[in-house]
Amino acid sequence: MSLFVYKDGADIAYLLLYVDDIILTTSSPVLLQRITRLLHSKFAMTDLGELHHFLGISVMWTSGDLFLYQRQYAVDLLEHAGMAECHSTVTPVDTQVKLSATDGALVADTT
């Protein structure tokens, strides 16, 4: 995987390249169009528009934020391990215990 950074005055572009997959983001729409046009003139490529999926990572856009998640990867991993139908269960451990380095008696034999 390679990351290329291009700066032109206040404008900046990031191009992330992995084999034949590319993510391109820029600080301005004009720069994005210029770089995309240049890449199209040199390489046979398809612009898939807004990023939704890249290398097993799903992308969700919410109110200007970017959320990355790998739900499908986790599902595939569970299926591969034969655990797709497993369900979570409560733990028998007390999850409310507060541990302290100074409270309580010291252990006599630390080995």
Q: Is residue 36 part of a domain?
A: yes
Q: Are 68 and 43 in the same domain?
A: no
What is this structure's pTM?
0.58
Q: Tell whether 27 and 59 lie within a shared domain.
A: no
- pLDDT at position 5: 95
Q: Within this chain, do residues 1 and 40 fall inside the same structural domain, yes or no?
A: yes
Q: In terms of domains, do 43 and 54 share one?
A: no
What does the alpha-carbon distance between residue 50 and residue 53 come to, in Å, rounded to a whole number?
9
Structural domain total, the chain: 2
Q: How confident is the model at residue 31 (pLDDT cuts 50, 70, 90)?
A: very high
For residues 23-45, b (16+ Cβ closer than 10 Å) or e, as one string? ebebeeeebeeebeeeeeeeeee
Which range of residues forms the domain containing residue 68?
50-87
pLDDT value of position 4: 94
